[in-house]
Structure 1
């Protein structure tokens, strides 16, 4: 960079890093919510508790894989200057939220 050029006001890679960290926090909070719910369900139905725990672990693992893949695709897109548009991580987060809510409703109805 020469003396005449001004530096850019942002680093494009930092935005991707912040987004990746946000997806990790979302995954961990979804997993924690599912496991807490599984613990509460254990007092009502052990089968439902185990099913909820297994689904929470599977959904969190899938969510983590999608988030990591998304992070890598975004990094590659930023490096090449192309646009990446994908709604799968948001759809997976919504699905995890719906599953947790359904399990919570099951707990309230059975308790």
Structure 2
């Protein structure tokens, strides 16, 4: 029987990649919120709030996912699905919406 769990650092690298992604998302989202907020303060605040909640949830869930996956790999059990992927998709859509708002509401020529 081949060993499912590898003593390497793959789960740790994946967790760190998710943390970097959520921090980058938070940074990009707040920059978009700042730019949009300059022209439409309400939209800027909404984007900042949404992106902060989504990036925070992604960070927390990715840490929980790492712990769960590490336990399951050690016990040679199948890995669970990924809610974190769905949250990340939603967060990127919020950033894209902010960019769209900026293009539509931003200063004219």
After TM superposition, is the score higher than 0.5? yes
Larger radius of gyration: 1
- Find the counterpart in structure 2 of residue 5 from structure 1: none
Structure 2 residues without counterparts, runs of 5 or longer: none
RMSD: 1.7
CA distance in 2, matches of 1:91, 1:13: 27
CA distance in 2, matches of 1:56, 1:13: 33
Higher relative contact order (CA 8 A, sep 6+): 2
CA distance in 2, matches of 1:13, 1:81: 15
Count residues in correspondence.
103
- Find the counterpart in structure 2 of residue 53 from structure 1: 48
Point out 4+ residue stretches in structure 1 off by more than 3 angstroms.
10-13
- Find the counterpart in structure 2 of residue 105 from structure 1: 100
1:20 aligns with one of 12, 15, 21: 15
Give how far 1:43 is off: 1.3
Structure 1 residues without counterparts, runs of 5 or longer: 1-7
Given the two structures, how large is their TM-score scaled by the length of structure 1? 0.85
Work out whether residues 38 and 53 of structure 1, in 8 Å CA contact, stay in contact via their aligned partners in 2.
yes
